[in-house]
Amino acid sequence: MKLVEVELRRIRLPLVAPFRTSFGVETDRDILLVRVTTEAGTRGWGECVAGGLPLYSAEHTAGAQQVIREFLLPRLWRLPEVTAHRLEPALAAVKGHRMAKAALEMAVLDAELRTLGTSLGGWLGAVRDRVPAGVSVGIADSIPELLDAVHGYLGEGYRRIKLKIEPGWDVEPVRAVRERFGDIALQVDANAAYRLPDAAHLAKLDDFDLLLIEQPLADDDLRGHAALAARLRTPICLDESITSARAAADAIALGACALVNIKPGRVGGLLEARRVHDVCAAHGIPVWCGGMLETGIGRAANVALAALPNFTLPGDTSASGRYWRRDLVTEPFVLRGGHVEVPAGPGLGISVDEAWLDEVTSSVERLGPAS
């Protein structure tokens, strides 16, 4: 496969409601999309999951665009033959910037699999044609408002509720949700908002039979997570800390986590995401698929990944309507019996709603082998 063009397109898409985490409030996403075109005219789409600001991780949308333009594309154009498997080592010399790399890899893989007529799920090794959906619920202004939000999601059929927590918004909201809704599948995500001395406070969450607590401590604090694990009954799941299959192996060896959240963008792409899955499976560590407020493009990749065998917990693979009034794809992801369907068509298996895309586009940059 040879590419003749790579388009870098920025869009701004308003969320159905503000989404608040320990690191900030998001009201609309500033997203970088990548569209590759092959010599044969086949298109492939990729979505960069970086935030508009570098608050979840060090990457941000504008930075990812610059990295792709200045450092990744020159290495891609030098390849005599472009496939996802050939691209990955070609980009390895560039350190970090995993979300930028993942976006480019997704677009190349989509084009490659469309050419082959193979679905991403089938190609990755999916063992399911639908996956159970969970939902991530942001920090609310009050407990009654939180309970209303959770009530709504349970009514829609979501199979698992994840509450965002931070110091000052943890034990009481969890208690309120548990008391009101009983024996639902419930977990929490701190996005690194605590420190090891908070262990005694976090141990109060042990009363509520949570499935897990996600990333309580700093991204680079594996040893702290191992120490915390010894003081909690609630299992620890890592998100931000797991940046590669090697990081997953290290975290598991240290006893820093009992579960792992996998996001292809966070680990540098779908190929590495599958390796994280495989490392965890080999160690008996269950995984689930995280979410980064993706449009239907990135959501399609997540849902395909979540169909692999060791994804044994519901993911943040919510329906399109959880985030968007109108998704970027012509067939938005919907909840049916608490599940979303794994796209069966070639590549990502989605088609982009070009009219809506043009309406929400803020800039377009087209790059070729000579540019």
Active site residue 164: yes
CA 60/CA 68 separation, integer angstroms: 12
CA 122/CA 120 separation, integer angstroms: 6
- Which of 278, 275, 273 lies closest to 289, judged by CA? 273
Q: How far is the CB of 291 from ligand NPQ (least distance, A)?
A: 4
Question: Do the Cβ atoms of 1 and 111 come closer than 8 Å?
Answer: yes
Active site residue 95: no
Per-residue contact flags (x/-) with ligand NPQ for residues 64 to 103, judged by CB under 6 A: ----------------------------------------
136 vs 320, which CB is nearer to ligand NPQ? 136
Sign of the Cα torsion 39, 6, 32, 126 reads positive
- What number of residues does the chain have? 371
Position of minimal CB gap to Mg ion? 239
* Using rule CB under 6 A, residue 46 touches ligand NPQ: no
In this chain, which stretch among 91-99, 165-173, 219-227, 284-292 interacts with ligand NPQ, using CB under 6 A?
284-292
Residue 294, contacted partner among Mg ion, ligand NPQ, none, CB below 5-8 A by kind: none
Applying CB under 6 A, among 239, 272, 327, 353 the residue interacting with ligand NPQ is 239
| Annotated active-site residue in 95, 101, 164, 204 | 164
CA 202/CA 167 separation, integer angstroms: 10
Q: How far is the CB of 280 from Mg ion (least distance, A)?
A: 16
* Using rule CB under 5 A, residue 294 touches Mg ion: no
- Return all residues near 354 (Cβ < 8 A) that are at least 6 apart: none
Run of H or E including 240: none
* Using rule CB under 6 A, residue 26 touches ligand NPQ: yes
* Using rule CB under 6 A, residue 243 touches ligand NPQ: no
Q: Are strands 213-214 and 186-189 parallel, antiparallel or unpaired?
A: parallel
What's the chain's Rg over C-alpha atoms?
20
Half-sphere CA count of 338, side-chain side, radius 13 A = 13
Applying CB under 6 A, among 134, 290, 314, 349 the residue interacting with ligand NPQ is 290
In this chain, which stretch among 6-14, 19-27, 142-150, 298-306 interacts with ligand NPQ, using CB under 6 A?
19-27
CA 174/CA 162 separation, integer angstroms: 10
The interface with ligand NPQ within residues 163-192 (CB under 6 A) comprises: 189, 191
* Using rule CB under 6 A, residue 56 touches ligand NPQ: yes
Backbone angles phi, psi at 191, to 5 degrees: 45, 45
Q: How far is the CB of 239 from Mg ion (least distance, A)?
A: 4
Residue 105, contacted partner among Mg ion, ligand NPQ, none, CB below 5-8 A by kind: none
* Using rule CB under 6 A, residue 333 touches ligand NPQ: no
* Using rule CB under 5 A, residue 239 touches Mg ion: yes
* Using rule CB under 5 A, residue 316 touches Mg ion: no
- Which of 336, 337, 332 lies closest to 321, judged by CA? 332
CA 275/CA 108 separation, integer angstroms: 19
Which residues are bridge partners to 60 per DSSP?
A: 51
Q: Residue 166 carries which side chain, given as an amino acid letter?
A: E
Tokens of 125: 């090794």
Question: Do the Cβ atoms of 289 and 262 come closer than 8 Å?
Answer: yes
* Using rule CB under 6 A, residue 241 touches ligand NPQ: no
Q: How many residues bind ligand NPQ (CB under 6 A)?
A: 14
Q: How far is the CB of 86 from ligand NPQ (least distance, A)?
A: 29
Q: How far is the CB of 368 from ligand NPQ (least distance, A)?
A: 30
By annotation, the residues acting in catalysis are: 164, 263
Binding site for ligand NPQ (CB under 6 A): 19, 21, 26, 51, 56, 136, 189, 191, 239, 290-293, 316
Binding site for Mg ion (CB under 5 A): 189, 214, 239
